[in-house]
């Protein structure tokens, strides 16, 4: 690419002028003044043309170019226009970037007068700036949408990025590098492509009055088979019958597995609900997940734990390889697990459990009012503000919220035998449980916000990474003592508690229930 009409260096003096741009432009370093090529290669822009855009970022950019056009290269214009036109592949909306107007400008570019060339240049820059912002941080701000999403914004300097793109010989490659690079994002894009290969669907909603078992005859079976054929779980047959045969049962099991349902071949309400999702609804589901992945950290860390809440699964990743997975139990809809990123810092063996305010208000106090022996049966000690133990018979409802309720260590403890700590403002953590049978459930949104981990001692042994002092035998000895012990995690392991309900695996669409009912509302906001 020829050196353009300028080497756009955008830090429009990092002093008083920085304050003018702060809301939209984060200036990271001072850059030298822009260099403009001979004036016959670019056109002077009337700064009044920028007013209608009401964008400090755009104004700062053209101020740094000495108010001259920058898109003299037809090749660069075509690259950007092509990128904006296919922005739907990233889950974005091409209409947000004025692609029709830009395309019309480009068709007439050879005959445009200087005023229209300036307008075209400004609009292309404005649309490209918006695209860069949406690509790197998403269209919406999760911190404004959700109270329990605690993710740091992926801070960028849009104009610095734009300058770098302009002065690079491989514009298309540099744009590609702006896109989220995580494997799940790539699998979401593949899922969108797979979905687009399917024909338009026009099915009516399936309804059943009772569950359908293999070998049953049911009037709904033909419509169910048609739905399975559409989703490519079942081969098209010349004659479809009302019998729930073995071939259809195998197709149902494949479908159930792809949707995180009980793989039992029984056609019940959950399976019917998933079958009733249309192509359009699934497409919307993928689009909202592409948006979420633009909010998530660009770098997860060399070694990290990532939990997908709707999939009830913890994965430990090192150097892009999955080393281990664990089933998890997450917060139920009324007590959602938060979305956050942090680092693992500490393991606590034989933890005590201090009852948090929500559980105290909604669970413990009502239980005590029903039966004062609840405290003794749960091995919970109550302390007043002076640290004095309050007996169950001294306990007073009027003082109930001022007390501290602590469950002693042991196998009966709600946190089980171990908890793993990561700093966060929600006071949640990973922990064992005294209800390990819950891991066999399909729907595991059962906790009060914290995440319960299956086989937590194996995970703990790995994290402590000390074959001599913290092998399973040594850990067992500590647990048998029933004494609380804190151990620092020395290795650097990042932690990500995230939420996504769609992706692809081996050319198959994978979906999970939207357990917190976030997808439909987010799609509506994206398209407004």
Tell me the catalytic residues: 431, 450
Q: Which of 299, 296, 323 is nearest to 308 (CA)?
A: 296
Q: Which two tokens stand for residue 240?
A: 């479809």
Q: What are phi and psi of 488, to 5 degrees?
A: -75, 140
Strands 445-447 and 321-331: parallel
**Region of residue 433 (left: phi > 0; alpha: psi -120 to 50; beta: else):** beta
Residues 6+ apart with CB under 8 A from 20: 12, 56, 60
Q: 123 and 101 in contact (C-beta within 8 Å)?
A: yes
Distance between CA atoms of residues 168 and 217, nearest Å: 66
**Region of residue 248 (left: phi > 0; alpha: psi -120 to 50; beta: else):** alpha
Q: 77 and 52 in contact (C-beta within 8 Å)?
A: no
Q: Which of 139, 141, 159 is nearest to 149 (CA)?
A: 141
User: How many Å from the N-terminal Cα to the C-terminal Cα in the chain?
Assistant: 38
Q: 310 and 500 in contact (C-beta within 8 Å)?
A: yes
Q: 92 and 131 in contact (C-beta within 8 Å)?
A: yes
Q: 10 and 159 in contact (C-beta within 8 Å)?
A: yes
Count of CB atoms situated within 10 Å of the CB of 36: 18
């Amino acid at each position: 690419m020829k050196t353009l009409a300028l080497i756009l260096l955008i830090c429009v003096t990092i002093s008083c002028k920085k304050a003018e741009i702060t809301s939209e432009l984060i200036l990271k370093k001072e850059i030298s003044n822009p260099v403009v090529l001979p004036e016959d290669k670019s056109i002077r822009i009337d700064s009044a043309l920028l007013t209608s855009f009401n964008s400090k970022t755009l104004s700062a950019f053209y101020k740094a170019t000495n108010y001259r056009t920058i898109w003299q290269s037809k090749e660069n214009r075509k690259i950007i226009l092509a990128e904006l036109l296919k922005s739907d592949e990233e889950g974005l909306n091409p209409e947000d970037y004025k692609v029709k107007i830009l395309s019309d400008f480009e068709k007439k570019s050879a005959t445009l007068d200087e005023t229209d060339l300036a307008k075209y240049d400004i609009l292309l820059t404005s649309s490209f700036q918006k695209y860069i912002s949406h690509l790197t941080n998403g269209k919406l701000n999760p911190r404004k949408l959700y109270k329990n999403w605690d993710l740091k914004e992926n801070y960028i300097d849009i104009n610095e990025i734009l300058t770098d793109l302009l002065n690079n010989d491989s514009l298309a490659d540099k744009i590609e590098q702006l896109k989220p690079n995580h494997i799940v994002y790539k699998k979401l894009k593949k899922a969108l492509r797979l979905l687009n290969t399917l024909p338009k669907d026009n099915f009516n909603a399936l309804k059943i009055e009772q569950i359908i078992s293999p070998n049953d005859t049911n009037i709904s079976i033909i419509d169910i088979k048609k739905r399975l054929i559409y989703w490519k779980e079942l081969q098209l047959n010349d004659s479809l019958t009302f019998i729930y045969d073995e071939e259809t049962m195998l197709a149902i099991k494949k479908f159930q597995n792809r949707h995180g349902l009980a793989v039992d071949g029984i056609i019940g309400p959950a399976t019917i609900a998933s079958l009733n999702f249309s192509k359009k609804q699934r497409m919307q589901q993928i689009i909202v997940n592409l948006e979420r992945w633009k909010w998530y950290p660009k770098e997860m860390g060399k070694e990290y734990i990532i939990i997908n809440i709707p999939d009830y699964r913890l994965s430990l990743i090192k150097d892009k390889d999955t080393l281990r997975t664990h089933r998890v139990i997450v917060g139920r809809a009324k007590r959602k697990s938060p979305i956050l990123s942090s680092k693992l810092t500490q393991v606590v063996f034989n933890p005590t459990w201090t009852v948090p305010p929500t559980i105290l208000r909604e669970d413990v106090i009502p239980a005590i009012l029903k039966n004062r022996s609840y405290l003794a049966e749960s091995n919970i000690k109550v302390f007043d503000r002076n640290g004095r133990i309050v007996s169950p018979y001294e306990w007073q409802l009027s003082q109930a919220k001022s007390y501290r309720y602590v469950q002693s260590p042991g196998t009966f403890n709600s946190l089980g035998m171990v908890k793993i700590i990561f700093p966060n403002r929600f006071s949640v953590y990973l922990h064992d449980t005294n209800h390990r049978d819950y891991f066999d459930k399909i729907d595991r949104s059962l906790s009060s916000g914290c995440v319960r981990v299956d086989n937590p001692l194996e995970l703990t042994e790995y994290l402590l990474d000390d074959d001599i002092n913290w092998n399973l035998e040594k850990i067992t000895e500590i647990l048998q003592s029933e004494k609380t012990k804190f151990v620092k995690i020395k290795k650097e392991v990042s932690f990500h508690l995230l939420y996504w309900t769609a992706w692809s695996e081996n050319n198959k669409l994978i979906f999970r229930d939207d357990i917190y009912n976030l997808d439909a509302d987010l799609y509506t906001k994206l398209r407004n």
